[in-house]
Structure 1
Amino acid sequence: MREFPRPFNRPALPGATDLTRRVLLAGTGGGALSLLLAACGAGGGAPLTGADSGAPQAGTGASAAASVPPRRGGTLRAGSPPPPTAVDPVTMYDGSAIAIVQLVADYLIWLDRDFTLKPRLAEKWESEDGGKRWAFTLRKGVTFSDGTPLDAEIVKASFDRLLDPKSKSAALSAFDTVLAKGGVSVRDAATVVFTLERTFSDFPYLVSAGNYNAVILKKDYAGDFTKKPIGTGPFLLESYDASSGATFTRNPKYWEPGKPYLDGVKITFYADDQADLLALQSGEIDAQILSRPQLVGPLKGLGDITVDQVQGTGLTAFTLRTDRPPFDRKEARQAVAYALDRPGVNATVYDGIGALGNDHLFAPLFPAAPDGIAQRAKDPAKVAELLGGQPLKFTLTYDPPSKDYALTVQNQLKQAGIQVELDQRTSADFYGGDQEKDTPWLFSTANLVGWAGRATPSQFIIPMVKGGGVWNGSKYANPDVDAAADAYDAAQTPEERATQAEIIAKALHEDVPLIVSVWSGTVRAYNGRKFTGIQAHPSSYVDFSSVSQVV
């Protein structure tokens, strides 16, 4: 079974299929919360730099087209699994649907592959009232593909829709405790204002592409996106068939001068990974929307195939119950952490593309991630010291997508003298039961939960390790972490944020309520001799506006 992170705004729900795991790493709650205020600009949006200048960017691998100037024309043929549900920007959660929407619609802010924020429909944004209110200034001259001008009322309507529980939007949990229905207002035709429930200095990330449902739609949007595909993005959806694919043509009204370079994009749906890969190898398609690292990794540097890769913020949390034996003893939790060979986990489970984790919730991509905590490494002597000659045995509960990880953990801990009994459940069982008292993913002694990437660390910290957090499977409680998490969200400078991040990270690293061995990475394979400007993205997002032909 192909492994993919859970939907960005929550772990997988009972009954999830393999296709529902084809989801993004960064977005609402997608799974998954901290980035520099300076990146989003307390005084405005980040300036455009080289990657935004329009020059195609080359991936790693076979392509020799790194400095080739853009060539207009041509159609990019891409392969993707079919969306498991209707393509609706408000409720979508899978990678294929999100890719289709992102070709047609746009965001206030783009979340770039290095997790910086880039102005799109908003030219700038600034905080007011100590970070509890945010004002966004819209780009001038933007129109929808049907000629409707973009204004603040349209943006307000888009977020009012997402904040309405009746919409069943996948974005709702991203705004939980931060922005409530009624919190969006219009200052003037070009300025939309968000008044928050509490100070949240990373708020721009929640209205960026990091919250993948936050695309801006017309006020009268009522569903049926594939039948009425109106947006401000670089392409127009010309046709859509749920079983075969979709075709797109250049949007002549696109707001960015000279883009897109392509005449169009054609997406073909393939039922499985092997068929998608064979289509790429045979030249039937030019690129993949969702690439599987274990399949495309061996193709790096072979023939025409280029494989671009990038770090992400998804993780598999190895959660330990701190309120029951044997993990009510910190020494037992630390022993498990020191018994793991993290590079081995990365190589076995993630095909080596991940970044090593250090048992806290600040991925290396997060600008506030502390760099002064020594990387925890396998240390058999330390394990023996911590256990003091006492045996350690426990049961590890998980669902099928985490099987490889579970087997790797079992084998590695066995070498350290720690006995692990594996308890595999169906996904429906693992996430089923009473969420308040007995669901396995929150109440078993030790478990593995796959989390899709988040746009900011707080989206991990608040639900997973704050006292009383809704997804606090370790039952961890530390007043110092709670206070630092609140201070982190309210911080007004990168320096303040870094100070609080270090407090949180050091506490989690020491207490080990959960083990983070590896942060995910993402790859994208394409024909590097025919096209340039195609990149991997931490959330598997697509931005084909800068893609151009090579030959």
Structure 2
Amino acid sequence: MEGGTLTVGLATDTAIIDPSITGSSITAVITRNLVDSLVGQAEDNSFVPWLAERWEINSDNSVYTFHLKQGVTFSDGTPLDAAAVKYNFDRILDPKTTSSYAKSLLGPIDKIEAVDTGTVVIHYKKSFAPLLQGLSLPYLGIQSPTYLQKATSTTNTVVGSGPYILESFVKGSGSKLTRRADYNWGPGYAKHAGPAHFNGIDFKYLPESSVRLGALASGQVQAIDEVPPANYRSVQGDEKLQVVTRENPGVNNSYFLNTSKEPFQDTKVRQAFQSAVNGAAAVKAAYLGTLKPADNILGPSTLYYDSGVASKWGFDLAKANELLDEAGWTKKDADGFRTKDGRRLTVHYVYDSASVGASNVTLAQAVQYQVRQAGFEFQLDPVDAGGYTARANSNDYDLVSFFYVRAEPDILRTVFHSAYVPPNGSDYVRVTSLDEKLSKAIGASDAERKQLYGEIQSEIVGQAYAVPLFVAAYQLGASKKLHGISWATNAKPLFYDAWLEP
């Protein structure tokens, strides 16, 4: 039960391992083992002690007081105290750090006080209800200030207080983690206390699905993510293997349409594109029934998900053609694509080829064929991570795709508030119309939050700011000898309690 190395094959890569400066899901999977959080969130969504043994919140959610466990240290031997927590959050709030996602999770902070070595007080300018949920995520995990102050770059190193220590991270290859022998401050939801069971964890980047699957079947790795859709049932039927699926809460995998320039500046063109996409058929073609098509911008397991949005939109080719006619795209060129004023109706789908898996490319090719029936030329523009960032920051794209995992609907602020237009975050849609409601919702009562988020979901889909595609899910293929995997509320596997039978 104790010892050994767990080897995990990952389908996608991350360019950055510092969880404070990325929203990458892969970074979250790896660094959950390296950094601890102030609070934990159990699978039943309750909040439990972790680095903070207890906390108080004032009546209007504007002052949070955290009392830290004593004796916690970072892996470099320095103490994890109130000053360290304050340093981490101040760093995230500093514009020079470019912590767009982590910063959005912290919300509109007024000031942070380290009252004494064991007490941190966070003051807000106005009510901020979602803080505990954000604090439970690895993006707000606490890192060693001593390390952070010395590091010239944190893109490939992390020093935290977690059950494992990062031995190495190499972009395009993977990460090696080693057990911390003196770890003794796990989250309240953990099944055991003390050090982790494995001596180490190796995360290997294996982008080819056949290679990943072969490594699992042969025992070279004990777990993989993104079980290939074509092999899903055969893995499930293998007596030595298992597939565990966890649907993601948060923003569904969607196409986000750039409203700031033509052609998607025109609402009718956006609605036409949305109507020309047969999401259910495209998702079935790409994922062979292993993932659910999305019927809303939020996944069903997200707080305040509105099931009524599904009836307000959907595939309708006749409607798409009618809307494009109304928008003035009435002519067609020799290739059958619509034109207007001598310009072809071309939209560029820009994506990072390392973080968008093969099945997503298959899905995009299905959509490419679908929207062509309405006269859209849908161009796939694969780029590397640097190229993707450059295209986003210079507003050189028509649509992008991604998903964000969070059980709290405040995730919509991260994706649709104009404060987070690239390079400041993930508002690739570049809208301002939702700002007031998104800001109001973070401090409202439960009833008002439900109403506001319902209105926001309706506008996002109704105005075709996005085309929801599928409910992303973490699909863990694993040896049946692997036990003790638990799940975070962001649908990520947790390895602290995990062990292998001989």
- Whether TM exceeds 0.5 here: the answer is yes
The answer on whether the counterparts of 2:107 and 2:131 sit within 8 Å (CA) in structure 1 is: no
Cα separation, 2, equivalents of 1:321 and 1:83: 29
Q: Deviations over 1:60-118 (max 9, x none)?
A: xxxxxxxxxxxx42424213469766755555666665545432331113355676654
Of 164, 178, 182, the residue aligned with 1:248 is 178
Instruction: Tell me which amino acid in the other structure corresponds to 1:504.
Output: I
Q: Alignment partner of 1:373: what SS?
A: helix
Pick closer, same or farther for the CA change 1:267–1:477 going to 2, 3 Å: closer
Pick closer, same or farther for the CA change 1:385–1:85 going to 2, 3 Å: closer
Please tell me whether residue 485 in structure 1 is matched to residue 420 in structure 2: no
The answer on whether the counterparts of 2:34 and 2:161 sit within 8 Å (CA) in structure 1 is: yes
Please tell me whether residue 193 in structure 1 is matched to residue 193 in structure 2: no
Of 395, 400, 411, the residue aligned with 1:448 is 400
Q: Alignment partner of 1:423: what SS?
A: strand
Of 168, 173, 193, the residue aligned with 1:258 is 193
Please tell me whether residue 317 in structure 1 is matched to residue 246 in structure 2: no
Of 134, 142, 145, the residue aligned with 1:216 is 142
Runs of 5+ in structure 1 lacking a partner? Answer: 1-71
Cα separation, 1, equivalents of 2:443 and 2:387: 38
Match of 1:373 in 2: 309
Q: Alignment partner of 1:372: what SS?
A: helix
The answer on whether the counterparts of 2:258 and 2:264 sit within 8 Å (CA) in structure 1 is: no
Offset of residue 487 of structure 1: 2.1
Please tell me whether residue 280 in structure 1 is matched to residue 206 in structure 2: no
Correspondence 1:317-336 to 2 at 5 A: 317-319=255-257, 321=259, 328-330=266-268, 333-336=270-273
Q: Alignment partner of 1:233: what SS?
A: coil
Of 364, 370, 376, the residue aligned with 1:420 is 376
Pick closer, same or farther for the CA change 1:322–1:216 going to 2, 3 Å: closer
Offset of residue 310 of structure 1: 1.3
The answer on whether the counterparts of 2:407 and 2:489 sit within 8 Å (CA) in structure 1 is: no
Please tell me whether residue 404 in structure 1 is matched to residue 362 in structure 2: yes
Pick closer, same or farther for the CA change 1:252–1:197 going to 2, 3 Å: same
Offset of residue 324 of structure 1: 5.3
Runs of 5+ in structure 2 lacking a partner? Answer: 187-191, 331-337, 339-344
Instruction: Tell me which amino acid in the other structure corresponds to 1:357.
Output: A
Match of 2:462 in 1: 510
Pick closer, same or farther for the CA change 1:125–1:395 going to 2, 3 Å: farther
The answer on whether the counterparts of 1:355 and 1:364 sit within 8 Å (CA) in structure 2 is: no
Match of 1:29 in 2: none
Cα separation, 2, equivalents of 1:94 and 1:326: 27
Q: Alignment partner of 2:238: what SS?
A: coil
Please tell me whether residue 524 in structure 1 is matched to residue 476 in structure 2: yes
The answer on whether the counterparts of 1:92 and 1:98 sit within 8 Å (CA) in structure 2 is: no
The answer on whether the counterparts of 1:315 and 1:453 sit within 8 Å (CA) in structure 2 is: no
Pick closer, same or farther for the CA change 1:115–1:423 going to 2, 3 Å: farther
Cα separation, 2, equivalents of 1:463 and 1:244: 28
Cα separation, 1, equivalents of 2:298 and 2:429: 18
Instruction: Tell me which amino acid in the other structure corresponds to 1:533.
Output: G
Instruction: Tell me which amino acid in the other structure corresponds to 1:213.
Output: Y
383-392 vs 250-259, greater mean Cα deviation: 383-392
Instruction: Tell me which amino acid in the other structure corresponds to 1:190.
Output: G
The answer on whether the counterparts of 1:217 and 1:231 sit within 8 Å (CA) in structure 2 is: yes
Match of 1:308 in 2: 244
Correspondence 1:3-42 to 2 at 5 A: none
Cα separation, 1, equivalents of 2:272 and 2:156: 56
Cα separation, 2, equivalents of 1:351 and 1:450: 20
Q: Alignment partner of 1:220: what SS?
A: helix
Pick closer, same or farther for the CA change 1:456–1:277 going to 2, 3 Å: same
Offset of residue 498 of structure 1: 0.6
Cα separation, 1, equivalents of 2:379 and 2:309: 33
The answer on whether the counterparts of 2:23 and 2:101 sit within 8 Å (CA) in structure 1 is: no
Q: Alignment partner of 1:357: what SS?
A: coil
The answer on whether the counterparts of 2:43 and 2:489 sit within 8 Å (CA) in structure 1 is: yes
Cα separation, 2, equivalents of 1:254 and 1:138: 14
The answer on whether the counterparts of 1:115 and 1:365 sit within 8 Å (CA) in structure 2 is: no
The answer on whether the counterparts of 1:75 and 1:264 sit within 8 Å (CA) in structure 2 is: yes
The answer on whether the counterparts of 2:412 and 2:438 sit within 8 Å (CA) in structure 1 is: no
Pick closer, same or farther for the CA change 1:112–1:410 going to 2, 3 Å: farther
Cα separation, 2, equivalents of 1:473 and 1:105: 29
Match of 2:189 in 1: none
Instruction: Tell me which amino acid in the other structure corresponds to 1:200.
Output: F
Match of 1:131 in 2: 61
Cα separation, 1, equivalents of 2:195 and 2:262: 57
Instruction: Tell me which amino acid in the other structure corresponds to 1:439.
Output: N
Cα separation, 2, equivalents of 1:157 and 1:367: 31
Match of 1:344 in 2: 281
Correspondence 1:53-68 to 2 at 5 A: none
Structure number with higher relative contact order (C-alpha < 8 Å, ≥ 6 residues apart):
1
Correspondence 1:86-105 to 2 at 5 A: 88=18, 90-91=20-21, 98-105=28-35
The answer on whether the counterparts of 2:16 and 2:22 sit within 8 Å (CA) in structure 1 is: yes
Give the % identical residues.
Answer: 22
Offset of residue 526 of structure 1: 1.1
Please tell me whether residue 202 in structure 1 is matched to residue 130 in structure 2: yes
Cα separation, 2, equivalents of 1:226 and 1:505: 34
Q: Alignment partner of 2:451: what SS?
A: helix
Pick closer, same or farther for the CA change 1:472–1:524 going to 2, 3 Å: closer
Instruction: Tell me which amino acid in the other structure corresponds to 1:404.
Output: T
Match of 1:297 in 2: 232
Match of 1:106 in 2: 36
The answer on whether the counterparts of 1:143 and 1:255 sit within 8 Å (CA) in structure 2 is: no
The answer on whether the counterparts of 1:78 and 1:268 sit within 8 Å (CA) in structure 2 is: yes
The answer on whether the counterparts of 2:417 and 2:431 sit within 8 Å (CA) in structure 1 is: yes
The answer on whether the counterparts of 1:105 and 1:216 sit within 8 Å (CA) in structure 2 is: yes
Q: Which has the higher strand share?
A: 2
Pick closer, same or farther for the CA change 1:111–1:344 going to 2, 3 Å: farther
Match of 1:439 in 2: 395
Q: TM-score, normalising length from structure 2?
A: 0.75
Offset of residue 275 of structure 1: 3.8
Cα separation, 1, equivalents of 2:75 and 2:120: 22
Cα separation, 1, equivalents of 2:81 and 2:392: 45
The answer on whether the counterparts of 2:482 and 2:499 sit within 8 Å (CA) in structure 1 is: yes
Match of 2:335 in 1: none
Offset of residue 171 of structure 1: 5.2
